[in-house]
Amino acid sequence: MSPEPTERFELAVVQMDVRLGDLSHNVARIEGFIRESVGARLCVFPECAITGYTFESLDEARRYAETIPGPSTAKVAQVCGERGVHVVVGLVERDEDRVYNSLALIGPGGVIGVYRKTHLPHLGVDHFASRGDHADRVYDLGFVRLGMNICYDGAFPETARLLALRGADLIVLPTNWPNGAEEFARYGINTRALENVVYYASCDRVGDERGFRFIGLSRISDPHGRTLAEADGFSETILQATIDPSIARRKRIDRVPGRHWIDRLADRRPDLYGPLTER
């Protein structure tokens, strides 16, 4: 883990529409949005932004799935190299006979890491995807320590807490929220940030796909649970906010110096939490 002091940087969250199965179109849009995110060092795109999401069979999903690294991540990496940025972007990943709902973390030199969705809802490609098992990976990019979740993972507070315990300054949640997810979009993001003293950013898509409408409402929250930027429910847009990792690393919050402070990580009682790991 890199020591303090840290520098501030600009985060861009790209709320966009996606065409199911039209990878060349989607990648071209992603490249364009990266170029539009002036000043950003990290750009985040929605869940399955490269491939689309609402596949109706494993065979159909396999036809559009790609390896990581693969053709699409190579194109994104080229733009990352030109712009000197890092990107988190979602796609259906193929690994032998399995598919995963995955995120690729890409830097100027190519793919840095992969996150595979851990908690799978009963919707779209998640009907057929295999579950990921690397929920605690945090990537030190030099300017920030980054944790990743996807969509439904955010509904499980253990996922964010685990990443916070591993040292994440920022947790990103690329998502495809359909109708019905409005309450989590509006309240869950700030809660995850507040309870873990981290920056937390959701990146949703908009538009319609096979009868599902995606609700947008992307958001960036600071470690105090305050909203730094938020999007509407229908527009393609780029949210930007300044991230100061040093704030996320100050877990002790002094409210009255010497008399009243809290530390939501140090004050935990793991000795009492055993039932959380029981089925």
Q: Contact 155/183 with Cβ under 8 angstroms?
A: no
Tokens 């040093």 belong to residue: 246
Q: How far apart are CA 159 and CA 195, in angstroms?
A: 12
47, 66, 93, 209: the catalytic one is 47
From CA 96, how far away is CA 99, in angstroms rounded? 8
Q: Which is it for strands 138-140 and 145-148: parallel, antiparallel or unpaired? A: antiparallel
Calpha distance 254→213 (Å, rounded): 44
Looking at the DSSP bridge assignments, the partners of residue 263 are: 252
Distance, in Å, from the CA atom of 218 to the CA atom of 15, rounded to the nearest integer, reads 7
Our answer to whether residue 151 is catalytic in this structure is yes
Q: Is 55 exposed, middle or buried (0-12, 13-18, 19+ CB in 10 A)?
A: buried
Q: Which of 117, 203, 209, 230 is catalytic?
A: 117
- Residue 227, H or E segment: strand 227-230
Give the N- to C-terminal CA distance of the chain in Å, as an integer.
Answer: 33
> One of 151, 203, 209, 230 is an active-site residue; which one?
151
Q: Are 223 and 198 in contact (CB under 8 A)?
A: yes
CB crowding 129-163: b at 16 or more within 10 Å, else e: beebeebebbbebebbbbbbbbbbbbeeeebbbbb
CA distance 57 to 140: 36
Q: Is 230 a catalytic residue?
A: no
Q: Is 10 labeled as catalytic in the residue annotation?
A: no
Q: Which residues are catalytic?
A: 47, 117, 151
